Structure 1
Amino acid sequence: MDFFNKTGKMALGSRLRLLTAKVTEDAAKIYEMYHVDFSPKWFPVFFILHHDGAKTITEIAEQIGHSQPSVTKIVKEMAKADLVEDNIKSQDKRRNVAGLTEKGSIIAKQMVEEQCADIDVAIDGIIAEATHNLWEALEEWEFLLEQKSMFKRVQEQKKLRESKDVQIVEYQPEHKEAFKALNEEWISTYFEMEDADYKALDNPEEYILNKGGKIFVALYDNEPLGVCALIKMDDPHYDYEMAKMAVSPKAQGKKMGWLLGQAVIQAAKELGASKIYLESNTILKPAINLYHKMGFEKVAGHQTPYKRCNIQMELNLKD
Protein backbone atom coordinates (compact mmCIF):
# COMPACT_ATOMS: atom_id res chain seq x y z
CA MET A 1 0.00 0.00 0.00
CA ASP A 2 1.15 3.53 -0.77
CA PHE A 3 0.44 4.60 2.83
CA PHE A 4 2.93 2.09 4.25
CA ASN A 5 5.49 3.03 1.61
CA LYS A 6 5.22 6.56 2.97
CA THR A 7 5.37 5.66 6.66
CA GLY A 8 8.13 3.07 6.39
CA LYS A 9 8.81 0.48 9.08
CA MET A 10 7.48 2.63 11.93
CA ALA A 11 3.96 1.55 10.91
CA LEU A 12 4.75 -2.14 11.44
CA GLY A 13 2.08 -2.48 14.14
CA SER A 14 -0.56 -0.79 12.00
CA ARG A 15 0.29 -3.01 9.04
CA LEU A 16 0.09 -6.16 11.15
CA ARG A 17 -3.26 -5.05 12.57
CA LEU A 18 -4.58 -4.46 9.03
CA LEU A 19 -3.38 -7.91 7.96
CA THR A 20 -4.94 -9.42 11.08
CA ALA A 21 -8.23 -7.68 10.32
CA LYS A 22 -8.23 -9.09 6.78
CA VAL A 23 -7.49 -12.62 7.97
CA THR A 24 -10.09 -12.36 10.76
CA GLU A 25 -12.71 -11.10 8.29
CA ASP A 26 -12.03 -14.07 6.03
CA ALA A 27 -12.03 -16.43 9.02
CA ALA A 28 -15.57 -15.33 9.91
CA LYS A 29 -16.68 -16.01 6.33
CA ILE A 30 -14.99 -19.43 6.40
CA TYR A 31 -16.83 -20.45 9.59
CA GLU A 32 -20.08 -19.33 7.97
CA MET A 33 -19.26 -21.34 4.82
CA TYR A 34 -18.90 -24.48 6.95
CA HIS A 35 -22.18 -23.63 8.75
CA VAL A 36 -20.43 -23.09 12.07
CA ASP A 37 -21.73 -20.32 14.36
CA PHE A 38 -18.32 -19.36 15.69
CA SER A 39 -16.29 -16.21 16.40
CA PRO A 40 -12.63 -16.28 15.22
CA LYS A 41 -11.44 -14.86 18.55
CA TRP A 42 -12.69 -17.98 20.32
CA PHE A 43 -10.37 -20.30 18.41
CA PRO A 44 -7.30 -20.37 20.77
CA VAL A 45 -9.47 -21.24 23.81
CA PHE A 46 -11.58 -23.68 21.80
CA PHE A 47 -8.48 -25.44 20.44
CA ILE A 48 -6.89 -25.90 23.88
CA LEU A 49 -10.08 -27.35 25.35
CA HIS A 50 -10.47 -29.71 22.42
CA HIS A 51 -6.82 -30.76 22.35
CA ASP A 52 -6.07 -30.97 26.09
CA GLY A 53 -9.48 -31.36 27.71
CA ALA A 54 -11.02 -29.31 30.52
CA LYS A 55 -8.78 -26.65 32.06
CA THR A 56 -8.90 -23.75 34.49
CA ILE A 57 -9.01 -20.16 33.24
CA THR A 58 -5.46 -19.67 34.51
CA GLU A 59 -4.15 -22.71 32.65
CA ILE A 60 -5.80 -21.62 29.41
CA ALA A 61 -4.45 -18.06 29.74
CA GLU A 62 -0.90 -19.32 30.32
CA GLN A 63 -1.01 -21.61 27.29
CA ILE A 64 -2.41 -19.16 24.77
CA GLY A 65 -0.67 -16.04 26.10
CA HIS A 66 -3.85 -14.11 26.91
CA SER A 67 -4.83 -12.35 30.13
CA GLN A 68 -7.15 -14.14 32.55
CA PRO A 69 -9.91 -11.48 32.18
CA SER A 70 -9.74 -11.94 28.38
CA VAL A 71 -10.05 -15.73 28.67
CA THR A 72 -12.87 -15.40 31.20
CA LYS A 73 -14.80 -13.16 28.80
CA ILE A 74 -14.29 -15.58 25.89
CA VAL A 75 -15.36 -18.59 27.97
CA LYS A 76 -18.55 -16.79 29.00
CA GLU A 77 -19.31 -15.94 25.37
CA MET A 78 -18.71 -19.55 24.31
CA ALA A 79 -20.89 -20.78 27.19
CA LYS A 80 -23.77 -18.65 25.88
CA ALA A 81 -23.27 -20.30 22.49
CA ASP A 82 -23.47 -23.71 24.22
CA LEU A 83 -19.93 -24.62 23.14
CA VAL A 84 -18.35 -24.57 26.59
CA GLU A 85 -19.51 -25.55 30.04
CA ASP A 86 -18.03 -23.32 32.73
CA ASN A 87 -17.48 -23.99 36.44
CA ILE A 88 -17.15 -27.76 36.08
CA LYS A 89 -15.83 -29.39 39.25
CA SER A 90 -12.45 -31.03 38.65
CA GLN A 91 -11.38 -34.37 40.11
CA ASP A 92 -9.73 -32.82 43.15
CA LYS A 93 -13.01 -30.92 43.89
CA ARG A 94 -11.08 -27.76 44.59
CA ARG A 95 -10.81 -26.22 41.13
CA ASN A 96 -13.44 -25.06 38.69
CA VAL A 97 -12.59 -25.86 35.09
CA ALA A 98 -14.04 -25.14 31.66
CA GLY A 99 -14.66 -27.88 29.10
CA LEU A 100 -16.39 -28.40 25.77
CA THR A 101 -20.05 -29.29 25.73
CA GLU A 102 -21.39 -32.08 23.52
CA LYS A 103 -22.18 -29.47 20.85
CA GLY A 104 -18.67 -28.06 21.18
CA SER A 105 -17.10 -31.50 20.77
CA ILE A 106 -19.14 -32.16 17.62
CA ILE A 107 -18.09 -28.83 16.09
CA ALA A 108 -14.46 -29.50 17.04
CA LYS A 109 -14.54 -32.87 15.29
CA GLN A 110 -16.04 -31.23 12.20
CA MET A 111 -13.37 -28.51 12.24
CA VAL A 112 -10.51 -31.01 12.46
CA GLU A 113 -11.84 -33.32 9.76
CA GLU A 114 -12.94 -30.69 7.25
CA GLN A 115 -12.27 -27.02 7.91
CA CYS A 116 -8.74 -27.23 9.36
CA ALA A 117 -7.58 -29.55 6.61
CA ASP A 118 -8.85 -27.19 3.90
CA ILE A 119 -7.30 -24.17 5.61
CA ASP A 120 -3.92 -25.89 5.91
CA VAL A 121 -3.87 -26.65 2.19
CA ALA A 122 -4.95 -23.08 1.34
CA ILE A 123 -2.19 -21.56 3.51
CA ASP A 124 0.39 -23.95 2.07
CA GLY A 125 -0.68 -22.63 -1.34
CA ILE A 126 0.01 -19.04 -0.27
CA ILE A 127 3.41 -20.04 1.13
CA ALA A 128 4.27 -21.75 -2.16
CA GLU A 129 3.31 -18.63 -4.12
CA ALA A 130 5.10 -16.21 -1.77
CA THR A 131 8.78 -15.29 -1.82
CA HIS A 132 8.97 -15.43 1.97
CA ASN A 133 7.43 -17.96 4.36
CA LEU A 134 5.33 -15.78 6.68
CA TRP A 135 4.66 -18.63 9.11
CA GLU A 136 8.37 -19.29 9.68
CA ALA A 137 9.11 -15.55 9.77
CA LEU A 138 6.48 -15.01 12.49
CA GLU A 139 8.03 -17.76 14.58
CA GLU A 140 11.46 -16.18 14.17
CA TRP A 141 10.18 -12.68 15.01
CA GLU A 142 8.36 -13.96 18.09
CA PHE A 143 11.58 -15.58 19.30
CA LEU A 144 13.67 -12.46 18.66
CA LEU A 145 11.16 -10.19 20.39
CA GLU A 146 11.09 -12.51 23.40
CA GLN A 147 14.87 -12.11 23.62
CA LYS A 148 14.65 -8.33 23.32
CA SER A 149 11.38 -6.43 23.02
CA MET A 150 10.65 -3.81 20.37
CA PHE A 151 10.54 -1.21 23.16
CA LYS A 152 14.04 -2.18 24.32
CA ARG A 153 15.40 -2.10 20.78
CA VAL A 154 13.97 1.37 20.08
CA GLN A 155 15.17 2.57 23.48
CA GLU A 156 18.71 1.48 22.62
CA GLN A 157 18.58 3.29 19.29
CA LYS A 158 17.30 6.44 21.01
CA LYS A 159 20.19 6.32 23.47
CA LEU A 160 22.69 5.75 20.68
CA ARG A 161 21.34 8.62 18.57
CA GLU A 162 21.17 11.06 21.48
CA SER A 163 24.62 10.04 22.76
CA LYS A 164 26.07 11.22 19.44
CA ASP A 165 24.87 14.72 20.33
CA VAL A 166 26.69 14.64 23.67
CA GLN A 167 29.95 16.57 23.71
CA ILE A 168 32.61 15.80 26.32
CA VAL A 169 34.82 18.81 27.08
CA GLU A 170 37.45 19.61 29.68
CA TYR A 171 36.47 21.78 32.62
CA GLN A 172 36.50 25.54 32.21
CA PRO A 173 35.90 28.15 34.96
CA GLU A 174 32.36 28.69 33.68
CA HIS A 175 31.59 25.06 34.55
CA LYS A 176 32.30 25.51 38.27
CA GLU A 177 28.67 26.12 39.23
CA ALA A 178 27.42 23.16 37.21
CA PHE A 179 30.12 20.88 38.66
CA LYS A 180 28.92 21.65 42.18
CA ALA A 181 25.17 21.75 41.41
CA LEU A 182 25.09 18.41 39.58
CA ASN A 183 27.00 16.66 42.35
CA GLU A 184 24.90 18.22 45.10
CA GLU A 185 21.76 17.12 43.25
CA TRP A 186 22.63 13.43 43.04
CA ILE A 187 24.37 13.18 46.45
CA SER A 188 21.44 14.81 48.23
CA THR A 189 19.01 12.48 46.47
CA TYR A 190 20.52 9.40 48.14
CA PHE A 191 22.83 10.59 50.92
CA GLU A 192 24.01 13.67 52.78
CA MET A 193 26.70 16.05 51.67
CA GLU A 194 29.94 15.55 53.62
CA ASP A 195 32.97 17.73 54.33
CA ALA A 196 35.04 15.94 51.69
CA ASP A 197 32.36 16.80 49.12
CA TYR A 198 32.42 20.50 49.86
CA LYS A 199 36.22 20.51 49.79
CA ALA A 200 36.30 19.30 46.20
CA LEU A 201 33.16 20.98 44.90
CA ASP A 202 33.85 24.43 46.34
CA ASN A 203 37.47 24.46 45.18
CA PRO A 204 37.84 22.23 42.09
CA GLU A 205 40.86 24.10 40.78
CA GLU A 206 42.78 23.86 44.05
CA TYR A 207 41.68 20.36 45.07
CA ILE A 208 41.65 18.64 41.68
CA LEU A 209 43.13 20.53 38.74
CA ASN A 210 46.18 22.12 40.35
CA LYS A 211 47.21 18.74 41.80
CA GLY A 212 47.41 17.11 38.38
CA GLY A 213 43.82 15.96 37.96
CA LYS A 214 41.20 16.63 35.35
CA ILE A 215 37.48 17.33 35.22
CA PHE A 216 35.30 16.49 32.26
CA VAL A 217 31.93 18.02 31.44
CA ALA A 218 29.19 16.47 29.27
CA LEU A 219 27.30 19.02 27.20
CA TYR A 220 23.95 18.41 25.53
CA ASP A 221 22.67 21.31 23.45
CA ASN A 222 25.53 23.25 25.05
CA GLU A 223 24.06 22.69 28.52
CA PRO A 224 26.33 21.00 31.09
CA LEU A 225 24.34 17.96 32.27
CA GLY A 226 27.09 15.63 33.43
CA VAL A 227 30.49 15.84 35.12
CA CYS A 228 33.25 13.52 36.27
CA ALA A 229 36.70 14.07 37.78
CA LEU A 230 40.04 12.29 37.63
CA ILE A 231 41.75 13.08 40.93
CA LYS A 232 45.49 12.57 41.52
CA MET A 233 46.00 10.36 44.57
CA ASP A 234 48.85 10.36 47.07
CA ASP A 235 48.76 6.60 47.47
CA PRO A 236 51.33 3.85 46.80
CA HIS A 237 48.69 1.57 45.23
CA TYR A 238 46.75 3.97 43.01
CA ASP A 239 47.65 6.82 40.69
CA TYR A 240 44.25 8.38 40.20
CA GLU A 241 40.67 8.20 41.45
CA MET A 242 37.56 8.48 39.32
CA ALA A 243 35.23 10.62 41.40
CA LYS A 244 32.46 13.18 41.43
CA MET A 245 30.56 11.60 38.55
CA ALA A 246 27.10 13.14 38.38
CA VAL A 247 24.55 13.22 35.58
CA SER A 248 21.35 15.21 35.58
CA PRO A 249 18.06 13.24 35.49
CA LYS A 250 17.27 15.32 32.39
CA ALA A 251 20.08 13.48 30.57
CA GLN A 252 18.87 9.98 31.39
CA GLY A 253 19.31 7.60 28.48
CA LYS A 254 21.99 9.61 26.69
CA LYS A 255 24.90 7.42 27.88
CA MET A 256 26.57 10.40 29.54
CA GLY A 257 27.94 8.32 32.41
CA TRP A 258 29.60 5.91 29.98
CA LEU A 259 31.01 8.72 27.82
CA LEU A 260 32.36 10.60 30.85
CA GLY A 261 33.90 7.42 32.23
CA GLN A 262 35.61 6.68 28.91
CA ALA A 263 37.01 10.21 28.81
CA VAL A 264 38.39 9.82 32.34
CA ILE A 265 39.92 6.42 31.57
CA GLN A 266 41.54 7.70 28.38
CA ALA A 267 42.97 10.71 30.24
CA ALA A 268 44.39 8.43 32.94
CA LYS A 269 46.10 6.30 30.28
CA GLU A 270 47.59 9.39 28.65
CA LEU A 271 48.91 10.47 32.07
CA GLY A 272 50.64 7.10 32.43
CA ALA A 273 48.39 5.72 35.17
CA SER A 274 48.45 1.98 35.86
CA LYS A 275 45.34 1.81 38.02
CA ILE A 276 42.22 3.89 38.67
CA TYR A 277 40.38 3.70 41.99
CA LEU A 278 36.77 4.64 42.79
CA GLU A 279 34.33 4.59 45.68
CA SER A 280 30.58 4.16 45.57
CA ASN A 281 27.59 2.65 47.32
CA THR A 282 25.81 -0.56 46.38
CA ILE A 283 22.35 1.07 46.46
CA LEU A 284 23.42 2.85 43.26
CA LYS A 285 22.90 -0.24 41.14
CA PRO A 286 22.97 1.49 37.71
CA ALA A 287 26.27 3.14 38.64
CA ILE A 288 27.81 -0.11 39.89
CA ASN A 289 26.69 -1.87 36.70
CA LEU A 290 28.27 0.94 34.67
CA TYR A 291 31.59 0.57 36.50
CA HIS A 292 31.58 -3.18 35.95
CA LYS A 293 30.90 -2.57 32.27
CA MET A 294 33.92 -0.28 32.16
CA GLY A 295 36.07 -3.03 33.62
CA PHE A 296 36.26 -2.03 37.28
CA GLU A 297 36.48 -4.84 39.84
CA LYS A 298 35.67 -4.84 43.55
CA VAL A 299 38.50 -4.38 46.05
CA ALA A 300 38.56 -3.79 49.79
CA GLY A 301 40.62 -2.32 52.59
CA HIS A 302 41.32 1.18 51.33
CA GLN A 303 40.70 4.00 53.78
CA THR A 304 37.88 6.35 52.76
CA PRO A 305 36.80 9.81 53.93
CA TYR A 306 33.16 9.16 53.01
CA LYS A 307 30.53 7.66 55.33
CA ARG A 308 28.40 6.65 52.33
CA CYS A 309 31.12 4.51 50.76
CA ASN A 310 30.48 0.74 51.10
CA ILE A 311 32.16 -0.50 47.94
CA GLN A 312 35.58 0.20 46.48
CA MET A 313 36.64 -0.69 42.96
CA GLU A 314 39.70 -0.52 40.74
CA LEU A 315 40.50 -0.64 37.05
CA ASN A 316 43.85 -2.07 36.01
CA LEU A 317 44.97 -0.17 32.93
CA LYS A 318 47.93 -2.45 32.26
CA ASP A 319 45.84 -5.57 31.57
Structure 2
Amino acid sequence: MYVTRYQEKFKDEFIKLNKSWIEKFFALESHDLEQLDHIEDYLNQGAMIYFGIEEEQVLSTCMAVQLEEGVWEICKFATNEKFQGKGAGKAVFKASIDYAIEQGAQKIVIYSNHILKPAIHIYQSFGFNEVPVTIDDYQRCNYQAELMVE
Protein backbone atom coordinates (compact mmCIF):
# COMPACT_ATOMS: atom_id res chain seq x y z
CA MET A 1 0.00 0.00 0.00
CA TYR A 2 1.25 3.48 -0.84
CA VAL A 3 -0.12 7.01 -0.47
CA THR A 4 -0.36 9.36 -3.42
CA ARG A 5 -1.59 12.90 -3.97
CA TYR A 6 -4.64 13.62 -6.10
CA GLN A 7 -4.69 12.07 -9.54
CA GLU A 8 -7.56 12.60 -11.98
CA LYS A 9 -7.86 8.84 -12.53
CA PHE A 10 -8.96 8.39 -8.90
CA LYS A 11 -11.49 11.27 -8.87
CA ASP A 12 -14.57 9.08 -9.40
CA GLU A 13 -13.48 6.73 -6.64
CA PHE A 14 -13.02 9.71 -4.28
CA ILE A 15 -16.60 10.78 -4.97
CA LYS A 16 -18.02 7.25 -4.77
CA LEU A 17 -16.25 6.34 -1.52
CA ASN A 18 -17.30 9.56 0.19
CA LYS A 19 -20.91 9.37 -0.96
CA SER A 20 -21.28 5.74 0.13
CA TRP A 21 -19.56 6.40 3.48
CA ILE A 22 -21.79 9.40 4.25
CA GLU A 23 -24.98 7.69 3.06
CA LYS A 24 -24.25 4.62 5.18
CA PHE A 25 -24.71 6.68 8.35
CA PHE A 26 -26.34 9.96 7.32
CA ALA A 27 -27.67 11.81 4.27
CA LEU A 28 -25.66 13.84 1.79
CA GLU A 29 -25.93 17.51 2.57
CA SER A 30 -25.43 20.59 0.40
CA HIS A 31 -21.92 21.21 1.72
CA ASP A 32 -20.94 17.62 0.81
CA LEU A 33 -22.22 18.08 -2.71
CA GLU A 34 -20.45 21.44 -3.00
CA GLN A 35 -17.12 19.80 -2.18
CA LEU A 36 -17.66 16.65 -4.25
CA ASP A 37 -19.00 18.51 -7.30
CA HIS A 38 -16.21 21.11 -7.33
CA ILE A 39 -13.06 19.15 -6.52
CA GLU A 40 -10.91 21.04 -9.02
CA ASP A 41 -11.98 24.40 -7.57
CA TYR A 42 -10.85 23.29 -4.11
CA LEU A 43 -7.56 21.93 -5.48
CA ASN A 44 -6.96 25.20 -7.36
CA GLN A 45 -7.43 27.06 -4.06
CA GLY A 46 -4.72 24.96 -2.40
CA ALA A 47 -6.60 21.93 -1.06
CA MET A 48 -5.12 18.46 -1.49
CA ILE A 49 -6.60 14.97 -1.65
CA TYR A 50 -4.66 11.86 -0.72
CA PHE A 51 -5.31 8.26 -1.69
CA GLY A 52 -4.17 5.01 -0.13
CA ILE A 53 -3.59 2.72 -3.11
CA GLU A 54 -2.93 -0.98 -3.45
CA GLU A 55 -2.73 -2.63 -6.87
CA GLU A 56 -4.34 0.50 -8.43
CA GLN A 57 -7.33 0.10 -6.07
CA VAL A 58 -8.30 3.04 -3.82
CA LEU A 59 -8.41 1.79 -0.23
CA SER A 60 -8.91 5.13 1.50
CA THR A 61 -8.99 8.85 0.81
CA CYS A 62 -8.81 12.12 2.73
CA MET A 63 -8.83 15.84 1.90
CA ALA A 64 -7.17 18.87 3.48
CA VAL A 65 -8.87 22.24 2.83
CA GLN A 66 -7.88 25.71 4.00
CA LEU A 67 -10.78 27.43 5.80
CA GLU A 68 -9.02 30.70 6.55
CA GLU A 69 -5.49 31.96 7.09
CA GLY A 70 -3.75 29.43 9.36
CA VAL A 71 -6.84 27.20 9.78
CA TRP A 72 -7.28 23.98 7.83
CA GLU A 73 -9.95 21.28 7.83
CA ILE A 74 -9.41 17.58 7.36
CA CYS A 75 -12.49 16.26 5.58
CA LYS A 76 -13.90 13.74 3.13
CA PHE A 77 -12.10 10.97 5.01
CA ALA A 78 -13.43 7.62 3.76
CA THR A 79 -12.24 4.03 3.52
CA ASN A 80 -13.49 1.22 1.32
CA GLU A 81 -15.03 -1.17 3.86
CA LYS A 82 -13.52 -4.16 2.08
CA PHE A 83 -10.07 -2.84 2.96
CA GLN A 84 -10.51 -1.59 6.53
CA GLY A 85 -7.72 -2.54 8.90
CA LYS A 86 -4.88 -2.22 6.37
CA GLY A 87 -3.67 1.12 7.73
CA ALA A 88 -4.67 3.08 4.62
CA GLY A 89 -7.01 5.37 6.56
CA LYS A 90 -4.35 6.41 9.06
CA ALA A 91 -1.85 6.88 6.24
CA VAL A 92 -4.01 9.27 4.19
CA PHE A 93 -5.13 11.05 7.36
CA LYS A 94 -1.50 11.65 8.35
CA ALA A 95 -0.61 12.78 4.81
CA SER A 96 -3.46 15.32 4.94
CA ILE A 97 -2.31 16.66 8.31
CA ASP A 98 1.27 16.90 7.10
CA TYR A 99 0.14 18.77 3.98
CA ALA A 100 -1.87 21.28 6.02
CA ILE A 101 1.11 21.90 8.28
CA GLU A 102 3.41 22.34 5.27
CA GLN A 103 0.95 24.96 3.98
CA GLY A 104 1.16 26.92 7.23
CA ALA A 105 -1.69 25.50 9.31
CA GLN A 106 -1.64 26.69 12.90
CA LYS A 107 -4.87 24.92 13.71
CA ILE A 108 -6.46 21.89 12.04
CA VAL A 109 -10.15 21.13 12.60
CA ILE A 110 -12.39 18.14 12.04
CA TYR A 111 -16.18 18.10 11.95
CA SER A 112 -17.75 14.71 12.55
CA ASN A 113 -20.32 12.75 14.55
CA HIS A 114 -20.00 10.80 17.80
CA ILE A 115 -21.34 7.59 16.21
CA LEU A 116 -18.18 7.33 14.08
CA LYS A 117 -16.15 5.86 16.91
CA PRO A 118 -13.33 4.33 14.79
CA ALA A 119 -12.75 7.69 13.08
CA ILE A 120 -12.79 9.56 16.39
CA HIS A 121 -10.25 7.07 17.73
CA ILE A 122 -7.96 7.95 14.79
CA TYR A 123 -8.42 11.67 15.42
CA GLN A 124 -7.51 11.26 19.08
CA SER A 125 -4.50 9.07 18.26
CA PHE A 126 -3.11 12.00 16.22
CA GLY A 127 -3.58 14.44 19.10
CA PHE A 128 -6.91 16.05 18.19
CA ASN A 129 -8.94 17.27 21.15
CA GLU A 130 -12.72 17.59 21.20
CA VAL A 131 -14.02 21.16 21.41
CA PRO A 132 -17.53 22.65 21.26
CA VAL A 133 -19.10 22.55 17.79
CA THR A 134 -18.90 25.97 16.15
CA ILE A 135 -20.33 25.35 12.67
CA ASP A 136 -23.71 24.66 11.15
CA ASP A 137 -22.49 23.53 7.70
CA TYR A 138 -23.60 19.96 8.45
CA GLN A 139 -26.73 18.86 10.28
CA ARG A 140 -24.94 15.62 11.23
CA CYS A 141 -22.06 17.41 12.97
CA ASN A 142 -22.18 16.92 16.72
CA TYR A 143 -18.43 16.46 17.19
CA GLN A 144 -15.63 18.91 16.51
CA ALA A 145 -11.95 18.42 17.23
CA GLU A 146 -8.89 20.58 16.86
CA LEU A 147 -5.17 20.07 16.63
CA MET A 148 -3.05 23.08 17.48
CA VAL A 149 0.20 23.10 15.51
CA GLU A 150 3.28 24.24 17.40
TM-score category of the 2 structures, normalised to the smaller one: over 0.9
Corresponding residue SS for 2:15: helix
Matched residue type, 2:49: I
Displacement, 1:225?
A: 2.0
1:277 equivalenced with 2:109 (yes/no): yes
Corresponding residue SS for 1:233: strand
Distance change >3 Å, CA 253–CA 195, structure 1 → 2:
same
**Within 5 A, what are the aligned runs for 1:37-76?**
none
State the alpha-carbon separation in 2 of the partners of residues 304 and 252 from structure 1: 30
Which residue of 2 is the match for residue 9 of structure 1? none
Which residue of 1 is the match for residue 90 of structure 2? 258
Contact 2:133–2:143 (8 Å) recurs in 1: no
Displacement, 1:304?
A: 2.9
Corresponding residue SS for 2:105: coil
| Bigger fraction of residues in strand | 2
Corresponding residue SS for 2:139: coil
| Bigger fraction of residues in helix | 1
1:175 equivalenced with 2:32 (yes/no): no
Q: Which structure is richer in relative contact order (CA contacts within 8 A, separation 6 or more)?
A: 2
State the alpha-carbon separation in 1 of the partners of residues 26 and 133 from structure 2: 22
1:302 equivalenced with 2:134 (yes/no): yes
1:184 equivalenced with 2:16 (yes/no): no
Distance change >3 Å, CA 249–CA 301, structure 1 → 2:
closer
State the alpha-carbon separation in 2 of the partners of residues 277 and 294 from structure 1: 12
Corresponding residue SS for 2:16: helix
Contact 2:133–2:142 (8 Å) recurs in 1: no
What is the CA RMSD across the aligned residues, in angstroms? 1.2
Which residue of 2 is the match for residue 202 of structure 1? 37
1:232 equivalenced with 2:66 (yes/no): yes
**Within 5 A, what are the aligned runs for 1:104-115?**
none
Q: TM-score, normalised by structure 1?
A: 0.46
Contact 1:182–1:225 (8 Å) recurs in 2: no
Contact 1:279–1:312 (8 Å) recurs in 2: yes
Corresponding residue SS for 2:137: coil
Contact 1:281–1:308 (8 Å) recurs in 2: yes
State the alpha-carbon separation in 2 of the partners of residues 214 and 241 from structure 1: 11
Matched residue type, 2:77: M
State the alpha-carbon separation in 2 of the partners of residues 227 and 199 from structure 1: 17
Displacement, 1:268?
A: 1.4
Contact 2:4–2:53 (8 Å) recurs in 1: yes
Report % sequence identity: 37
Contact 1:169–1:218 (8 Å) recurs in 2: yes
Contact 2:61–2:79 (8 Å) recurs in 1: yes
1:289 equivalenced with 2:145 (yes/no): no
Contact 1:225–1:247 (8 Å) recurs in 2: yes
CA displacement, residues 7-49 of structure 1 (integer Å, 9 cap, x when unaligned): xxxxxxxxxxxxxxxxxxxxxxxxxxxxxxxxxxxxxxxxxxx
Which residue of 1 is the match for residue 147 of structure 2? 315
State the alpha-carbon separation in 1 of the partners of residues 80 and 62 from structure 2: 12
